């Protein structure tokens, strides 16, 4: 009898130990700061839905890493943008057919406006909105021990976003009035288009580590564009490295700090409908660069009760460094708010 109790106790302790040394998603920092995508995998049979709202804004100009004035830009171009706020709604779903494999799909709706000033001092705005590119991906978890996890992502971005968004500008309106154009609308420059127009590969590698009340994560991610789109250009490849650190303040709330390094290549080719002398954003030399962004966030997680497995993440982003090719608008603050619900 004594022997049996001994055996049961031994089994129980080893079970508890095994539980303790595994990484756990059931804590506020079990998900990365909300602006990080594809940061976690799921256990077999789990289904998760997510909604993210993202607000980003760009304002004023930079040439390389120096601030420049609108007058400087207007000595080379007819028009310069002054401000571009962008909003994005992202709907995603994740499903794990096994403990190792999680499938992911994400769609988004984008709306942007761009304010401009012309060499003559006239101001005007353009806007575009619609569905962006659709992303599908497979996450493969290949390490899960000592409170560490690693997974790889292989994904593809399907070009469902419009690359022919149009708007009326003072120049296109006057050309139309003079009978030089069939319509007063003209195609918008590269940053105002909603998709890449190409099938893009998205690959990522994520490392996660937990301690009793804190955690660390790192993710390397790249977007590689394949081929040329119907408008004869290809957006630049993206290379991104995120690292973050989080502290669980309570069982339902964690705080996080994140740093992202981002390298974006220049657009190759050019849309023949765009005149690169007209506006900064229509010149492909003014695309791509190196950026370092920071993020401060908070995650809320309901471990039990009627809201069990519901998460809310909020992250405020702030650029620390930007070295942009040619002349481009400066990246400013961003805000990401997301809800995630697992079944």
Which residue ranges make up the site for Cu ion (CB under 5 A)?
Answer: 48, 94
State in angstroms the smallest separation of the CB of 104 from Cu ion.
8
User: Which one, 37 or 86, has the nearer CB to Cu ion?
Assistant: 37
Q: Is the dihedral of CA 210, 215, 216, 222 positive or negative?
A: positive
State in angstroms the smallest separation of the CB of 117 from Cu ion.
44
At 312, is the secondary structure helix, strand, or coil? strand
Backbone φ, ψ for residue 130 (5° rounding)? 155, -175
User: Which one, 210 or 325, has the nearer CB to Cu ion?
Assistant: 210
Distance (Å, whole) CA 339 – CA 310: 7
State in angstroms the smallest separation of the CB of 48 from Cu ion.
4
Q: Which residue is nearest to Cu ion (CB)?
A: 48
Distance (Å, whole) CA 252 – CA 29: 9
- Cβ count within 10 A of residue 245: 16
Distance (Å, whole) CA 113 – CA 191: 10
Backbone φ, ψ for residue 321 (5° rounding)? -155, 140
User: Which one, 99 or 266, has the nearer CB to Cu ion?
Assistant: 99
Distance (Å, whole) CA 317 – CA 88: 15
User: Which one, 152 or 270, has the nearer CB to Cu ion?
Assistant: 152
User: Which one, 48 or 167, has the nearer CB to Cu ion?
Assistant: 48
Scanning the chain, the segments in alpha helix (DSSP H) are 2-20, 70-74, 170-177
User: Which one, 48 or 280, has the nearer CB to Cu ion?
Assistant: 48
- Please give the DSSP secondary-structure letter assigned to residue 243: E
Q: Is the dihedral of CA 12, 343, 131, 155 positive or negative?
A: positive
State in angstroms the smallest separation of the CB of 340 from Cu ion.
6
Dmax over Cα atoms in the chain, in whole Å? 101
Q: Is the dihedral of CA 248, 254, 255, 261 positive or negative?
A: positive
State in angstroms the smallest separation of the CB of 42 from Cu ion.
6
User: Which one, 48 or 188, has the nearer CB to Cu ion?
Assistant: 48
At 129, is the secondary structure helix, strand, or coil? strand
State in angstroms the smallest separation of the CB of 94 from Cu ion.
4
User: Which one, 81 or 313, has the nearer CB to Cu ion?
Assistant: 313
Beta-carbon contacts of residue 129 (< 8 Å; ≥ 6 apart)? 109, 110, 111, 112, 194
State in angstroms the smallest separation of the CB of 194 from Cu ion.
25
State in angstroms the smallest separation of the CB of 147 from Cu ion.
19
């Amino acid at each position: 009898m004594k022997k049996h109790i001994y055996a049961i106790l031994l089994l129980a302790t080893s079970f508890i130990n095994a539980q303790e040394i595994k990484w756990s998603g059931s804590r506020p920092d079990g998900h990365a700061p909300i602006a990080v995508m594809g940061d976690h995998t799921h256990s077999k049979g789990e289904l998760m839905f997510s909604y993210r709202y993202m607000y980003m804004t760009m304002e004023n100009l930079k040439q390389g890493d120096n601030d420049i004035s609108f007058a400087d830009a207007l000595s080379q171009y007819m028009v310069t943008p002054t401000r571009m706020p962008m909003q994005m709604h992202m709907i995603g779903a994740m499903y794990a057919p096994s403990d190792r494999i999680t499938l992911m799909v994400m769609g988004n709706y984008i709306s942007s406006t761009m304010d401009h000033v012309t060499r003559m001092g006239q101001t005007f705005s353009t806007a575009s909105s619609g569905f962006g590119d659709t992303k599908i991906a497979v996450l493969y978890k290949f390490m899960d021990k000592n409170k560490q996890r690693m997974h790889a992502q292989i994904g593809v971005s399907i070009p469902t976003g419009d690359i022919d968004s149009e708007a009326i500008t003072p120049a296109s309106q006057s050309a139309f009035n003079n009978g030089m154009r069939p319509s007063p609308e003209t195609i918008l420059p590269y940053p105002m288009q909603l998709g890449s127009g190409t099938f893009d590969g998205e690959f990522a590698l994520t490392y996660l580590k937990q301690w009793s009340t804190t955690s660390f994560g790192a993710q390397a991610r790249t977007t590689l564009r394949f081929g040329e789109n119907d408008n004869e250009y290809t957006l630049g490849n993206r290379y991104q490295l995120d690292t973050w650190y989080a502290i669980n303040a309570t069982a339902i709330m964690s705080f996080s700090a994140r740093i992202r390094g981002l390298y974006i290549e220049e657009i190759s080719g050019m849309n023949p409908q765009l005149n690169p002398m007209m506006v900064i954003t229509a010149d492909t030399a003014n695309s791509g660069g190196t950026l370092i962004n920071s993020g401060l966030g908070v995650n809320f997680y309901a471990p039990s009760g009627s809201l069990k497995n519901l998460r809310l993440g909020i992250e405020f982003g702030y650029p620390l460094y930007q070295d942009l090719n040619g002349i481009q608008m400066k990246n400013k603050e961003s805000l990401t708010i997301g809800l995630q619900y697992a079944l």
